[in-house]
Structure 1
Amino acid sequence: MSVIRILHPLEIKEYETPPLFDSFNRKKFLTLPAALASLLETSRHPSSKIVLIVQCGYFRACHRFFGSQFRADDLAFVAARLNVPRPEVLELSKQTLLRQREAVAECFGFRQFQQTDRQTLTDEIAGWVRNGLRPSEVFRQSVNRCRALRIVLPNYNLLATLISEQVNRRKAELNRIINESVTAEQKLLLDNLLTKSFAAGEAADSRSLLTLLKQPSQSLKPSDIKANLTDWQHLQTLYQKFSPVIIKLNLSAENLRYYAQTVLKADLLQIARRADESRYLHLLAFIAFQTFRYQDVLVDSFLQSVQTTINSATQTYRDKYFLEREEKRRTFNLFLQSLQESVLPTLASIEETLKINDSNPAEKLLLIETAMSLKESERRQIEQQTGLLLAETGNARNSRDFYDILQKQSLKLQKRAADIVRCLQVDKTQVQPDLFNALQHFQRRDGQIEKNAPQGFLSKQQKDFLNLGSEKFPVSLYKVLLFQQLSVGIKSGTVNFSDSHKYRSLDDYLISREFWQQHRAELLGQADLQESDSFPAILTNLSDTLNRAFQETNQKLKSNLNPHLKFTADRDWVISTPKQEATLAAPLKNYFPSRQLVPLSEVLSSVSQAVPFLNEFQHWQTRRRQSKPVNQVFFAGIIGTGCELGIGKMAFISKHIGEIDLENMVNWYFSPENLQNANAKIVNFLNNLELPNLLRRSQDRLHTSSDGQKYAVSVPSLNANHSFKYFGHDKGVTVYSFIDERHLLFYSTVISAAEREAAYVIDGLLHNEVIKSDIHSTDSHGFTEIVFGVTHLLGFSFAPRLKQLSKHRLYSFEKRKLYETLGYKLLPKLYIDTKLIEDNWDDILRFVATIKLKHTTASQLFKRLNSYSKQHPLYQALKEFGKIIKTLFILRYIDDVELRQAIEKQLNKIEHAHRFAKAVAFANNQEFSEGEKELQNVAADCRRLIENSIICWNYLYLTNKLTEMPDDRQRQSLLESIKAGSIITWKHINFHGEYDFSAEKMQDSVGLNLPKILAWKAE
């Protein structure tokens, strides 16, 4: 059996050699625990004593042993501490080494890797391979799993062998299914996808059907939507023919993506050259993946088209209302005049009549009737004016005028949405019955609607507007209302699609209930949720903690120990946060080069020599062994993509870089995974560097933050949305970025400008393997009560900066009256529904385990859960649990001024990083030139790679300065400037290249003929 390539040779060397300690870590790790003191005392030979301490230190740092490899500096350090001479040759038997390792492992609660562990790990590796994890990621997961099981990490060859066995076994299984299940007729159909004449149709278009089905349009033009629909119908036909085989293959979403993306990246010849089994496997995955992808694109197009129509109708109604304001004001004035001239005098006359004492009741009644009859015409006028005013003051979307406008705009919407609705294939299991009946009726009648069309999905008012008694049924209005309700259903989770990546039901994204029930204990262990299994214990702990928090906060108020909290006259309160005292340190920019600019290419090259981050760029086809492009091509691709110059322009303005080489490299090497790993490589290097860690507020806790930044998109994009505040009449996206207190940018993702940022908070905290956040801050856009609850169960402290903090309700387990009797000023408003949480606790744990085990991203779950009706029990229970954690945070926030200052400071860092990102993305008017979400993420990750490289270069430059300063006072002054300033500074970086004013370069290169130009006249 061949062992596949899993890690880069340098990574293998790093794994197989002892850690390289600096002076700080050498003191930290090369200290023997008290539990091993007796073993040290019984060791007679100095070599044995030294090796015991060094082995122990290596194990504490890496959870593994390294044979007889020991670094000379570590041996010398331990020998000096023991006050013994360092032996030239270590005189140590193999038995002594093994005995020491067993003692060290036992001391830290670990055991040696055994045969039973091999089978356990093999089963888990098989699952990861089946789920589509890359071999390098499987390796990292295997290492993490061994640590979680308290197993001494095995050597690289053993893990590589186990992984290779499962990869090759899965490949053989897929080949067997292909050979047994794909008929000769189906093979011919698949091969025809590669034939140019199969779908050429016209002589002008000689592209193959496969090529035509690769890229859906991102445009909302009716012609482009129809083209997408035609392609999707073709894919759907193929998918239905091959679905039995695709189901047998049982490919995970990641596997589908991997095989399909290989087809998307490759040309026809590269696909045709593959072995039969591999070619058919890739084409089948392509059909399934593209079927789901096209359906998602069509649903996105439908949702945006409907929303645009509703927004346009609402704005038209508001404009109409604004233009008619003078008429409305005149009507209102006439109404007031009528009241004064008719109603009020009549009421006064009736009142006077009632006061007459010497008149009998019959006479009084006659006088009142006479007074009323004299004002009959005025009364009818007032009733008419009252009706007008009531109609005008109604809600815009409940107004007859609004529905008239909506009806007029229906035709424009139908051109975009009607064909999509005719072909929608919704999941029948969860759709609302009345809406499903209307959809089926629309599809059966091919969009030909009559008065008998189902109306059960409409509100009473909408039905009234449809059935006003006019002879002709308002078909256009019915269709736009149907489309609107379908849109609401898709967004709210009552309309789902099984053949979709984005719009399946919530349960499809969670760990299945059946699998959860069968493997619950094992899954809880893997997700490190064992301590959360018992809800009564959780409840008792949180109840005690919350009562204590109310007591401590109110006791400080009572004792006047919180001068920053003030109560207003209406019993509201305000908390202020004093600014931290500014230091007198010199500006950090003074220490960077001022008489020269460092080219961006030089920055990337210098950093790559210190941190070989280019090793993380692996060819998309992981099993391919071929030479990589030279480093310069990678640097050009990173700059061209990250700075929004574009690959074509970058090749044109660069020397020694070919356009074909550059495009080929970007195509095969610039995947989101590679770019994230390259960023992680730099961040991990800085994570272990001495200077960045001096910026931590505490060495025991790491504070991180995240925030979104808006960017316009210059091409059609279904991931972009309107936001007049940021883009005017254009569309844009949000780049949601994460930073820690050392200014390390460890995650980013591109989302629609209309999406709530809170759904993506947990993605950034869990998606990276380098930065382990202890406390995370966002602004109010990143906050929901559900995020509070889930982050708590995942082991993070969530500390957002909330607007109008006093408006957020406090909750408790005890009744409010109990706290009132204790004289508390800060009181809970509502009571926690513990029964709701307890009834859904198992589903809450399943939800959190799904996220923790990376079965599905948190953002995907949050988007589907948040879109559901608020009556969804899991939504309600998670929100109720989050109320507890939110209350604890608010009470702590009120008490702890240092926490408030730290949150402000950390959020300032991400805002400063936003300005940095804008400086990097200097080209294309600082707009995305990519339409697809994945390509936008590639551009954003290239930009972040440039930012992290500049940050790394700055740290290296300042560290080098510290080593060259002979004076302690100078070094201390620089350190103070580093702590007081921001390492994110870029004025010394040349992003734009150099201008060549040589005589040769200033010659006309395009042949402008000035005499002819000046003589030209328009006919």
Structure 2
Amino acid sequence: RSSAEERIVAALNVIRSRPDVVETIKKELEQLELTVSTKLKDEMFYSKVEEGSIKLARRLKDIVLSLKFDGKTSEKEIYRAVEHFQYKDGNLGSSAPIGFLNSSQGKYVQTHSSSQINNKIYRSLLFNESAFHIKSGSLNLKYSNDYRSINDYMIDDETWERDKEYLLEKVNLSHLRDFTDVIISLEKKLDEQYEKTNQNLSENDNLKFRKNGKPFVTNDKAEDLGSEIIDNLLNKDEVVPLVKVLSDIQDATDFTECFTHFAMKGGHETPEVQVIFAAIIGLGCNIGVRKMGRITHGLNAEKLENTARWYFSKENINEARNRILSVIDKLSVPQHFKASVDELHTSSDGQKFGVSVPSIHASHSYKYFGRGKGVTAYSFIDEYSRVFYDTIISPTEREATYVIDGLLDNEEVESTIHSTDTHGYTEILCGICYSIGIVFAPRIAGDQIMYTFKNRKRGHYENKGYRILPDNSKYINVKIIEDQWDNILRLLVSIKIKHVKASVILRRLSSYSQSHPLYKALKELGRIHKSLFLLKYYDESDLRSRMQKQLNKGELWHKFAKDVWFGDNQEFRVGEKSEQEIALGCRTLIQNVIVLWNYLELTKRLSAMNEKQALEVINAISSNHVISWKHINIHGEYDLDIISEPSKMFDLENLLKYKVVA
């Protein structure tokens, strides 16, 4: 009889003689180790879940009980679980639905038998899964701005079916009615653009190719955005006080009459112009209304605070801004700053600002705010150097979500081509912009995928000797777009008639999983327009130059904004988004007032020249801008006594009649 040691040695010898057995044993041991490790991790995780269940329930139970969910548009299993939780008033019992749980979760919820549920773990998982499904669009709320079913945001089905033709006609989208015509036209345009761009390669000195064959553009010689000529024309021996600039524009436009009382009823006297100016400066320069009242001679601080509280709303400020914009639009000189008579190029970009007080929508970003929190001021500017839309968003949000809002918000400005940087770009946005008649021309970083249609595969273009080619197997899925075409049209019309803000519906769409059919269809449509744009971008140096010039104008506006927004370390000291937008609106109003003052001063000086001299000046300045503020005293003492008597600096009626024909 052999000893235990002898038996072990004999077994090891057998194992060593069979390498296949050794490998099998190793794999089984590794799998056992992995299983034990996973089980241990799960046990630790669900132990913590159970431990924190009571604290979580105290915070979330009443919230979940008060929400109204939409069973018709929600995923069945999670809706059943939430409905049961509400019906039982949070007391789950033994019949709680578990169909929304995966196998691992279910194993730890049902610890003993199918009739017994660990209520603590179940409740925590229900809260967690409900949050996930609400965000992803599979559990919808009946009453919510951000978390309803996507169909609830758009024109309702009945109205759409009844009035579709009328609505498409109303928003100038009738040409999109027939999907077959639209897709045939896009196929033809994309094929022709591949041909045109490749045929022009020999004359395209700025287009190069990487080792992987991807095209890229070397830096074109950017058009100088210097303002030296403008500065010399505007600058005088003395510096013009900001209050004087506001007063001159008030005399020309009477923009302060836009500041009406919230109540909109009789019995409220219009505040003195001096008080409105002081509030605009206090808010727009980030000095603060209270501090402005203390440092300004002859001003009643209490009256100033009351005016800011009851007369300053986002709507009033926007109305005053639009009055300024409309005067700029009527002047002759600004027209010479456009690259094309029939187009208006706009751009948008975000600027980060810290928030020094608690704010629910401010976010951390070490790159911009260190250990603090902040927000993004997102602004839109056109070729006339007018900022026509601004809003406050969280720095963690994608700027692209708000591009359509800015383009459709202001009726004074109708953009025909819009540029952003990479943060303002998505493929979905490409599809929407082009569909509503706005050329979307973003500056996109990195190599981009180029698409084609299946009847024009990569080999088709390779056989023609083309170098700029669609990527391998990157074809447009026409069927996905066709199946959702009616919903795409309904979404476009809903946005155009302002039935819903584009940012609201795009946020909801992007929160869905990428398998949502409308999301996929919009993305696919955007890929067509993105490929078309990239081909034009590679081919047309003039387009690239215009884009760069317009984006540079936005960057210059940010520098201008920094000088205007100089108080309190350039940080917001208010936490509510509405308060932040009022301050941002006042800052933008000040900047637009200065731009209009510059235009009026230029027009006044040009009108004093003979025609030849005026034409020479116009030709010299037309490639630049009027974002100039060296001649304005933005900082320092604000003496409101200087506007006690109107100066009539500008005779607006005569200046509007002045024309220079280039």
Whichever residue aligns with residue 856 of structure 1, its letter is V
* 1:732 corresponds to: 374
Matched length: 621
Q: How does 1:574-723 map to 2 (within 5 A)?
A: 574-580=216-222, 582=224, 586=228, 588-593=230-235, 596-622=238-264, 624=266, 626-723=268-365
Report how far residue 679 of structure 1 moved: 0.9
State yes or no: 1:767 paired with 2:413.
no
Partners of 1:601 and 1:592 lie apart in 2 by: 17
* 1:429 corresponds to: 72
Partners of 1:826 and 1:746 lie apart in 2 by: 38
Whichever residue aligns with residue 530 of structure 2, its letter is K
Report how far residue 465 of structure 1 moved: 6.3
Partners of 1:709 and 1:873 lie apart in 2 by: 34
When Rg is computed on C-alpha atoms for both structures, the one with the higher figure is 1
Whichever residue aligns with residue 369 of structure 1, its letter is I
1:369 to 1, 9, 15: 15
Report how far residue 884 of structure 1 moved: 1.4
* 1:539 corresponds to: 183
Note the alpha carbon deviations across 1:998-1019, whole angstroms, 9 max, x for none. xxxxxxxxxxxxxxxxxxxxxx
Report how far residue 446 of structure 1 moved: 4.9
Partners of 1:834 and 1:423 lie apart in 2 by: 43
3-state SS, counterpart of residue 203 of structure 2? coil
Partners of 1:583 and 1:740 lie apart in 2 by: 14
CA 792–384 in structure 1, closer or farther in 2 if over 3 Å, else same: closer
* 1:495 corresponds to: 139
2:634 to 991, 995, 1008: 991
Partners of 1:858 and 1:402 lie apart in 2 by: 40
Report how far residue 945 of structure 1 moved: 0.5
* 2:594 corresponds to: 950
CA 977–652 in structure 1, closer or farther in 2 if over 3 Å, else same: farther
Note the alpha carbon deviations across 1:426-467, whole angstroms, 9 max, x for none. 223222222223334444555566887544323444445667
3-state SS, counterpart of residue 737 of structure 1? strand
Partners of 1:390 and 1:778 lie apart in 2 by: 52
Contact 1:814 1:831 in 2 (8 A): no
3-state SS, counterpart of residue 199 of structure 2? helix
CA 920–388 in structure 1, closer or farther in 2 if over 3 Å, else same: farther
Larger mean CA deviation between 773-782 and 664-673 belongs to 664-673
Contact 2:223 2:545 in 1 (8 A): no
* 2:461 corresponds to: 819
Report how far residue 404 of structure 1 moved: 6.9
Whichever residue aligns with residue 910 of structure 1, its letter is G
CA 365–440 in structure 1, closer or farther in 2 if over 3 Å, else same: same
Partners of 1:552 and 1:967 lie apart in 2 by: 42
Report how far residue 973 of structure 1 moved: 7.3
* 1:845 corresponds to: 489
Note the alpha carbon deviations across 1:803-826, whole angstroms, 9 max, x for none. 11x332323352413333333322
Q: How does 1:889-908 map to 2 (within 5 A)?
A: 889-908=533-552
CA 584–682 in structure 1, closer or farther in 2 if over 3 Å, else same: closer
3-state SS, counterpart of residue 739 of structure 1? strand
3-state SS, counterpart of residue 82 of structure 2? helix
3-state SS, counterpart of residue 505 of structure 2? helix
Report how far residue 372 of structure 1 moved: 7.2
Note the alpha carbon deviations across 1:895-919, whole angstroms, 9 max, x for none. 1112112112211111221222222
3-state SS, counterpart of residue 983 of structure 1? coil
* TM-score (normalised: structure 1): 0.56
Partners of 1:707 and 1:781 lie apart in 2 by: 8
State yes or no: 1:438 paired with 2:75.
no
Contact 1:585 1:973 in 2 (8 A): no
Contact 2:224 2:624 in 1 (8 A): no
CA 583–761 in structure 1, closer or farther in 2 if over 3 Å, else same: closer
Q: Point out where structure 2 has 5 or more consecutive residues left out of the alignment.
A: 1-9, 640-662
* TM-score (normalised: structure 2): 0.84
Partners of 1:521 and 1:385 lie apart in 2 by: 63
Contact 1:738 1:745 in 2 (8 A): yes
Larger mean CA deviation between 736-745 and 498-507 belongs to 498-507
* 2:128 corresponds to: 484
Larger mean CA deviation between 911-920 and 976-985 belongs to 976-985
Q: How does 1:821-970 map to 2 (within 5 A)?
A: 821-829=463-471, 830-964=474-608
CA 380–872 in structure 1, closer or farther in 2 if over 3 Å, else same: closer
Contact 1:577 1:900 in 2 (8 A): no
CA 446–519 in structure 1, closer or farther in 2 if over 3 Å, else same: closer
Q: How does 1:209-228 map to 2 (within 5 A)?
A: none
Report how far residue 381 of structure 1 moved: 12
State yes or no: 1:552 paired with 2:193.
no
Larger mean CA deviation between 949-958 and 771-780 belongs to 949-958
Whichever residue aligns with residue 438 of structure 1, its letter is A
CA 753–404 in structure 1, closer or farther in 2 if over 3 Å, else same: farther
Note the alpha carbon deviations across 1:488-547, whole angstroms, 9 max, x for none. 222222233223334332222211110111122221221111222122222222222111
> Which has the higher relative contact order, 1 or 2, with Cα contacts under 8 A spaced 6 or more apart?
2
Contact 2:222 2:548 in 1 (8 A): no
Partners of 2:81 and 2:562 lie apart in 1 by: 48
Partners of 2:43 and 2:630 lie apart in 1 by: 59
Larger mean CA deviation between 440-449 and 814-823 belongs to 440-449
State yes or no: 1:754 paired with 2:380.
no
Contact 2:235 2:630 in 1 (8 A): no
Whichever residue aligns with residue 736 of structure 1, its letter is Y
Partners of 2:286 and 2:431 lie apart in 1 by: 39
Report how far residue 640 of structure 1 moved: 1.9
Partners of 1:481 and 1:662 lie apart in 2 by: 53
CA 822–621 in structure 1, closer or farther in 2 if over 3 Å, else same: same
3-state SS, counterpart of residue 753 of structure 1? coil
Report how far residue 625 of structure 1 moved: 6.9
Partners of 1:929 and 1:607 lie apart in 2 by: 29
3-state SS, counterpart of residue 208 of structure 2? strand
Q: How does 1:385-534 map to 2 (within 5 A)?
A: 387=33, 414=57, 416-444=59-87, 446-447=89-90, 454-463=97-106, 478-534=122-178
Partners of 1:942 and 1:404 lie apart in 2 by: 53
Q: How does 1:199-278 map to 2 (within 5 A)?
A: none
Report how far residue 707 of structure 1 moved: 1.1
Q: How does 1:9-20 map to 2 (within 5 A)?
A: none
Identity %: 42
Report how far residue 682 of structure 1 moved: 0.8
Contact 2:365 2:373 in 1 (8 A): yes
Note the alpha carbon deviations across 1:766-799, whole angstroms, 9 max, x for none. 1101111111001122112221121122111010
3-state SS, counterpart of residue 732 of structure 1? strand
Partners of 1:705 and 1:727 lie apart in 2 by: 25
CA 716–474 in structure 1, closer or farther in 2 if over 3 Å, else same: farther
Q: Point out where structure 1 has 5 or more consecutive residues left out of the alignment.
A: 1-363, 997-1019
3-state SS, counterpart of residue 519 of structure 1? helix
Report how far residue 476 of structure 1 moved: 6.0
Partners of 2:172 and 2:155 lie apart in 1 by: 16
3-state SS, counterpart of residue 706 of structure 1? strand
Report how far residue 944 of structure 1 moved: 0.8
Contact 1:585 1:980 in 2 (8 A): no
Larger helix fraction of residues: 1
